[in-house]
Amino acid sequence: MIRVAKPGSLLLIADETEKHVKEVYEKSLSGLYKDRKQPVSPPIDLVPPEMQEVHLEQMRYGDWYALTFRKPALPADQFPASASLATAEALSL
C-alpha cells in the first residue's frame, strides 16, 4: 500500500482484534482459528519508521482496531527534473 500511495496520503489498516477472534471465530464450527501459534495483533511494528502521524485506535468495544499513518510528502529536491510545477504541487497534496 505504501509503495503505490501518493506522498502525503493517509493510509488505514483495520481488522479484528484478538478479543474478537477468541469470542467469535474460535467458537465457530469452521475451526480456522483453532491451534493458532500467534495471537492476532495490529501490525504497528511493520509500519516503516519514516511514516508520519502513526495512530492506533481500538473500536467497537475493543473488537476491531484501526491503524492510520501518513506517507511523507516528497521534499522539493526529490521531484524529477522533468516534473512541472503543477506536478510538484499535485504530489504535495
Q: Are 54 and 2 in contact (CB under 8 A)?
A: no
- Could you identify the residue written with the cell 500500500? 1
Question: Which residue, 63, 41, 44, 46, is CA-closest to 55?
Answer: 44
- Looking at the structure of the chain, the number of domains it has is 1
Residue 71 lies inside a defined structural domain of this protein: yes
Q: Which domain holds residue 68?
A: 10-91
Q: Find the length of the chain.
A: 93
Per residue in 11-68, pLDDT (tens digit) is: 999 999 999 988 888 777 676 777 778 888 999 999 999 999 999 999 989 999 999 9
In a domain, 37, yes or no: yes
| Domain membership flag for residue 78 | yes
Asked whether residue 1 is assigned to any structural domain, the reply reads: no
Res. 86 pLDDT band, cuts 50 70 90:
low
Q: Domain for residue 2, yes or no?
A: no
Q: Is 3 part of any domain?
A: no
57 forms beta bridges with 66
C-alpha span between 2 and 35 (Å, rounded): 32
Task: Give the chain's radius of gyration (CA, Å).
Answer: 19
Confidence of residue 78 (pLDDT cuts 50, 70, 90): low
**Angle of CA points 75, 78, 80, to nearest 5°:** 135
Say yes or no to pLDDT of 93 above 60: no
Q: What is the pLDDT of residue 52?
A: 93
* Residue 4 forms part of a structural domain: no
61 assigned to some structural domain: yes
pTM above threshold 0.85: no
